[in-house]
């Protein structure tokens, strides 16, 4: 290392001596300012420091990217931080150890696969939205403003609830990074992102006439399982996945009861089956060595997709906006409107908290009208 007075002209004309891989010049005026010239003519400005007796260096920039005066000012700034007790070389090394968000995405997905029963949504959120946008940025480089701007763009084509789900997934990523003590995660930028306001509560109360139209349309479907699926979903308030993965061995034909070994909340539950539900189950076709209650006639495996048949039937029944999950809403709502206690309806649906059942408990206009009439009769109006 040679000590010389660095000037703009010297730095411009400096070359590496023949036979050497590189040469480093240290300024005799500005403490810490250095110039490294390599054999291939690449030249960089450095801040050379020696905190606690240990030599270190921080790259300021290339000769072609930053002027001599700017490099000198940056060296002066770093020198002042050193004097105040900040080890700028250690900080620089730590910054280089901060992982990119793409790596945190991978770690989050692995964690979800080992801890969550339903981890596909976490993988999808990272793969389709979060990783493509933030993957190449280090954890400490992502700002709340960037996140809010990206989510605002997504709200132009996604539902507010879907965007909020991405916010929750990204927030969980940073919280995991904090639990794992990953460098750069001390500040969670998602915590400063406001949660969007939205109301995704769907009101779905099917009348007897609407149910009849829907079942008639399902009966005409090329998919022979569509009608029994709809009938059983309405009769049991079960979730789509619970029904499609049901096994014959889980049906107690003597007690008219259905055991669901594992539900969304991680627990098993027993669902009482009405006479109508048992009639549908008894009418289902059976196949040799096939354990499934509703297997595909072709593959003998659980039916995984009936979207097209469902959409066609709903359109024919005059219910084009109906979702499969709305049948669960309609079933719970029908129980509530016929006098079933909220707690009892929740037990049938498999809810752990009454608040969950209340989200599905829509009161029909007929029930409200009956309540008004009852009140008026009591007061002898």
Residues 43, 35 contacting (CB under 8 angstroms): yes
Chain centre to alpha carbon of residue 136: 19
Q: How many CB atoms lie within 10 A of CB 356?
A: 15
227-245: burial string, b at 16+ Cβ within 10 Å, e else: bbbbbbbbbbbbbeebbbb
For 47-80, the pLDDT digits (tens) are 887 765 566 778 888 988 889 999 999 888 888 8
Give the residue-averaged pLDDT of 211-227.
96
Which of 71, 97, 123 terminates a domain? The answer is: 97
Which of 159, 192, 225 terminates a domain? The answer is: 192
pLDDT of residue 111: 96
Name beta bridge partners: 44. 36, 62
267/365 same-domain check: yes
Residues 204, 333 contacting (CB under 8 angstroms): yes
45/153 same-domain check: no
Residues 111, 176 contacting (CB under 8 angstroms): yes
83/136 same-domain check: no
337/249 same-domain check: yes
Which of 32, 67, 97 terminates a domain? The answer is: 97
What average pLDDT does the chain have?
86
- Cβ neighbors of 110 (< 8 A, separation 6 or more) are none
Residues 11, 68 contacting (CB under 8 angstroms): yes
223/366 same-domain check: yes
pLDDT of residue 351: 74
- Residue recorded with tokens 């996604």: 158
For 136-175, the pLDDT digits (tens) are 999 998 999 999 999 999 999 998 889 999 999 999 999 9
**What pTM was estimated for this model as a whole?**
0.58
Extract the tokens encoding 183. Answer: 């460098």
For 6-56, the pLDDT digits (tens) are 999 999 999 998 889 999 999 998 888 999 999 888 999 988 877 655 667
249/358 same-domain check: yes
> Residue 187's domain spans which residues?
101-192
Residues 147, 193 contacting (CB under 8 angstroms): yes
227/105 same-domain check: no
pLDDT of residue 291: 95
Q: Which CA distances in Å does 324 have to 79, 297, 313, 329?
A: 65, 21, 11, 10
Q: Report yes or no on 244 lying in a domain.
A: yes
């Amino acid at each position: 290392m040679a000590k010389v007075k660095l000037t703009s002209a010297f730095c411009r004309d400096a070359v590496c001596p023949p036979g050497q891989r590189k040469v480093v010049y240290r300024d005799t005026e500005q403490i810490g300012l250095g110039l490294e010239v390599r054999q291939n003519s690449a030249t960089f400005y450095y801040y050379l420091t020696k905190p606690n007796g240990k030599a270190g260096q921080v790259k300021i920039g290339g000769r072609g990217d930053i002027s001599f005066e700017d490099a000198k000012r940056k060296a002066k700034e770093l020198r002042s931080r050193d004097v105040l007790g900040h080890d700028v070389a250690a900080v620089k090394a730590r910054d280089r150890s901060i992982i990119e968000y793409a790596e945190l995405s991978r770690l989050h997905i692995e964690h979800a696969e080992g801890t969550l029963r339903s981890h596909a949504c976490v993988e999808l959120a990272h793969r389709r939205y979060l990783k493509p946008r933030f993957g190449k940025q280090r954890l400490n480089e992502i700002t709340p403003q960037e996140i809010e701007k990206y989510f605002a763009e997504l709200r132009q084509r996604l539902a507010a609830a879907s965007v909020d789900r991405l916010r929750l997934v990204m927030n969980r990523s940073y919280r995991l990074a904090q639990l794992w003590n990953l460098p750069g995660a001390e500040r969670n930028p998602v915590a400063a992102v406001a949660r969007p306001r939205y109301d995704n509560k769907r009101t779905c109360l099917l009348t007897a006439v609407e149910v009849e139209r829907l079942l008639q349309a399902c009966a005409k479907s090329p998919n022979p399982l569509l009608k029994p699926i709809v009938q059983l979903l309405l009769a049991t308030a079960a979730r789509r996945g619970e029904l499609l993965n049901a096994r014959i061995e889980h049906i107690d034909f003597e007690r008219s009861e259905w055991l669901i070994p594992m539900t969304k909340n991680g627990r098993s539950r027993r669902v009482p089956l009405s006479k109508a539900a048992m009639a549908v189950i008894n009418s289902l076709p059976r196949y040799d060595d096939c354990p499934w209650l509703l297997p595909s006639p072709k593959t003998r495996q659980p039916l995984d997709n009936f979207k097209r048949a469902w959409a066609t039937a709903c359109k024919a029944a005059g219910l084009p906006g109906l979702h499969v999950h709305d049948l669960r809403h309609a079933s719970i709502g029908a129980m509530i409107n016929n006098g079933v206690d909220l707690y009892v309806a929740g037990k049938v649906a498999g809810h752990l908290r009454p608040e969950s059942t209340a989200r599905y408990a829509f009161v029909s206009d007929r029930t409200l009208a009956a309540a008004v009439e009852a009140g008026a009769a009591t007061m002898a109006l």
